[in-house]
Amino acid sequence: MSIQTSLRLAVAVIAMAGFGVCGALADPPAKAAPPKNDPRARIAAKLDVPVDAIHPSVVPGLYEVAHGSEVLYMTGDGKYVIAGDLYDAEKGKNLTAQRRNEGRLAGLKTVSDEEAIIYSPKTPKYTITVFTDVDCQFCRRLHGDIAEYNKLGVRVRYVFFPRSGPGTDSWRKAEAVWCSANRKDALTKAKQGTDPGNKICKDNPVAKTYALGQDLGIRGTPGIFTDRGEYLPGYYQPAQLVEKLKGLENGTADDEG
């Protein structure tokens, strides 16, 4: 998670806890609250988050509060907030990054293959989920290399993230591509500059994947996620991407989120 994202979440927490701002980091819990002497109950009440979003961290007295891919830490009395990464110095492991990836992966799993446009080799070595915008220059560049990604063993799951938001031209194009009889052909033509028209169909996933992208903290398109939840924002040349994926798999590279 970027410093900006951490600070944004921290500011939201402080605003809700100290100034009575309406809203929540997540839906309120349906289950009964834990005993009042449980520090998590105090934190949950203060932040209006589910108790099961709060876990004791490895640091005594410090609790982890997770919302999707965003993670921060709070003292049991709810008085102090830490927005930053927590490391295991002995093992050299970023514990916060691991938790973020778990949250991202859980979100990505809510989008089925039937809700994505997939380009895959026969025997993929890697799978990436790419949040894409039809009008994004670097998304178009990535799509122009799609055959090479596949040749190198990369399976690409496209989901839509029209950066300009609902009701915009990019949103209309995303929906029209999805509602086309041949989605792959429509996507390719749209990324080459052909207007896909105004096709509308029920149950298209554009709104769902756009909301998910926001929850995952996407800062721009293309937004690339591995099948372990690592975030790689921006365009990567095919060979460059494969090297990055190898490094992440072997633990010799870090994600960019």
Residues known to be catalytic: 133, 136, 139, 163
| Assigned token pair, 171 | 């949103």
Strand partners, 118: 157
Label the pairing between strands 154-160 and 117-119: antiparallel
Q: Collapse the DSSP code of 139 into the 3-class scheme (helix H, G, I; strand E, B; otherwise coil) and give the result.
A: helix
- Helix then strand then coil, % of the chain, to nearest 5: 40, 20, 45
Q: Element (H or E) spanning 190, and its range?
A: helix 183-191
- Rounded to whole angstroms, how far apart are CA atoms 234 and 211? 19
Closest CA to 102 of 64, 45, 74: 64
- Rounded to whole angstroms, how far apart are CA atoms 122 and 155? 9
